[in-house]
Structures are given as C-alpha cells and as structure tokens.
Amino acid sequence: MLLGVGVAMLATGLVVGLLLAAICVALSAILAVTLRPIRALVPAVAYLGGEFQVFAIREVILRQRPPTANYPAPRAVEGVHETSCSFPSGHSVAVTAVLFAPLGTVASTYKTWWPWLVALVGSLFVADTRLVLGVHWFSGVTFGLLLGITWGVTVTAAAQHLEWADVAAVLRSPPRPHLGGQRAARRASCAAQQDGRGARQGHGSHPAS
C-alpha cells in the first residue's frame, strides 16, 4: 500500500507544472521534424485547451474534494493538501489530452494502432493515481478521462486537415471596406449611369441632317 501511494505521489508530481510543459515542447519538436510543421502545435493546443476546459467547468460546478484530499484528515495521505474544486480532475484531462493528441496524430499519419494503446494506458495510470491519493471522486476522474480523450481526438482530427496556409488565410482575411468608401463608390456608379443615359438620350434626340 505504501509503495502504491509513493508511486502515485511521484507520478502526480512528475506530470504537473514545468515538466508537463517540457513534455509538450519535446513532443512539439519531434512532430515538427517528423511530420508537417503545423502538427508541432498539437501538444500545446491539447494542453492549453484542456486546461481551459477544466477552468471553465470548475467555475460552474463547485464540487468539493473528498475529505482524504487534505492531510491530516482521517485516512488522508501525509503530504497531500488539495483544496481546490475537484470536478473534473485536471490531471486526468491535461495528461490524457497531451497523450492522445500527439500520439493519435502519429497513429493517424502512419496508420497504426499502438500509439492509441500507449496513450490509453498512460492516461489510465495517471487517473488511477488521483484515486489512490484520495484527492478526487471517481466521477471526477472518469469525466476528466473522457473529456481528455475527446479533446485529444478532436485536436488529432483537426491536425489531419489543417495546414499553415489555412491559418495564414484566417489571419490575413481582407479588411472590410469602409462604409464611407462603399457609399462613395455607389454614388460614383450612379453618376456614371446617369451620365450614360443622358448621353444616349442626347444622341437620340439630335436632328438628322
């Protein structure tokens, strides 16, 4: 039991903060070299998007953590102090999204299945550590796992169809003409039509020689 708790604490500590960011950077570099450059954004988009969704949901669902999430509560693990809202599990969402998005991109590109399996096993392991530490309810971990998978697969699917040209086209969308300019153009067009009609009428009414 103590060994399982120790492994859970170690895994939890390794996947947060700077280390998870470093993993995203490393995966981005690998994808930039091995696949299309646009796919280098996949890990960062997966991580940032997942964290934003966790933040948004926790602003609405203010579920308290289990009593075991804050030592020295009964049955709490020594050294564990989690007091923020618990639904969904941020670790489950972030790690699952970061695993599924880049590994899913590799799987989709090379038409193989094993990266999906690696992503699933890694995600289940991290989700289980949150339960072992007693810092989340089962429902929060399960929902976080499903949300992370959904977001990771969504990023994977988008990466299959987007190119830098698509991003550049959105950023370089032509500015809408100024309203005053549109009105001036309409006036000029109307004036030109009127002049043309006047010229035709004048030509038609000229007496024949």
Torsion angle defined by CA atoms of residues 48, 53, 58 and 63, in that order, rounded to the nearest 10 degrees: -110
Query: What is the number of structural domains in the chain?
Result: 2
- 21 within some domain: yes
Cα–Cα distance, 46 to 18 (Å, whole number): 16
Cα–Cα distance, 35 to 48 (Å, whole number): 21
At residue 91, the pLDDT reads 86
At residue 193, the pLDDT reads 56
Q: Are residues 189 and 129 in the same domain?
A: no
Phi, psi dihedral angles at 70 (to 5 degrees): -135, 100
103 contacts 116 by C-beta, under 8 angstroms = yes
User: Which of 77, 44, 46, 84 has the alpha carbon at shortest distance from 63?
Assistant: 84
Name the residue range of residue 76's domain: 2-169
- 98 within some domain: yes
Phi, psi dihedral angles at 81 (to 5 degrees): -140, 90
At residue 4, the pLDDT reads 44
Q: Are residues 25 and 97 in the same domain?
A: yes
> Which positions ≥6 away from 93 have C-beta within 8 Å?
50, 51, 53, 54, 144, 145, 147, 148, 151
At residue 13, the pLDDT reads 47
Cα–Cα distance, 86 to 204 (Å, whole number): 85
Q: What is the pLDDT along the chain (209 residues), one digit of tens a residue?
A: 444 444 444 445 445 556 777 777 777 777 667 666 677 788 888 988 998 999 999 999 888 888 777 777 676 666 677 777 889 988 899 889 989 998 898 888 888 999 999 999 999 988 888 888 888 889 999 999 999 999 999 999 988 877 656 555 666 665 555 445 555 555 555 555 555 554 554 555 555 44
Amino acid at 6: G
- 207 within some domain: no
Whether the model pTM is above 0.85: no
Q: Could you count the other beta carbons within 10 Å of the beta carbon of residue 134?
A: 22
User: Which of 70, 48, 21, 61 has the alpha carbon at shortest distance from 143?
Assistant: 61
At residue 119, the pLDDT reads 93
At residue 11, the pLDDT reads 46
Q: Are residues 165 and 185 in the same domain?
A: no
Q: Are residues 85 and 118 in the same domain?
A: yes
Q: Are residues 111 and 196 in the same domain?
A: no
Cα–Cα distance, 200 to 127 (Å, whole number): 82
- 206 within some domain: no
At residue 146, the pLDDT reads 95
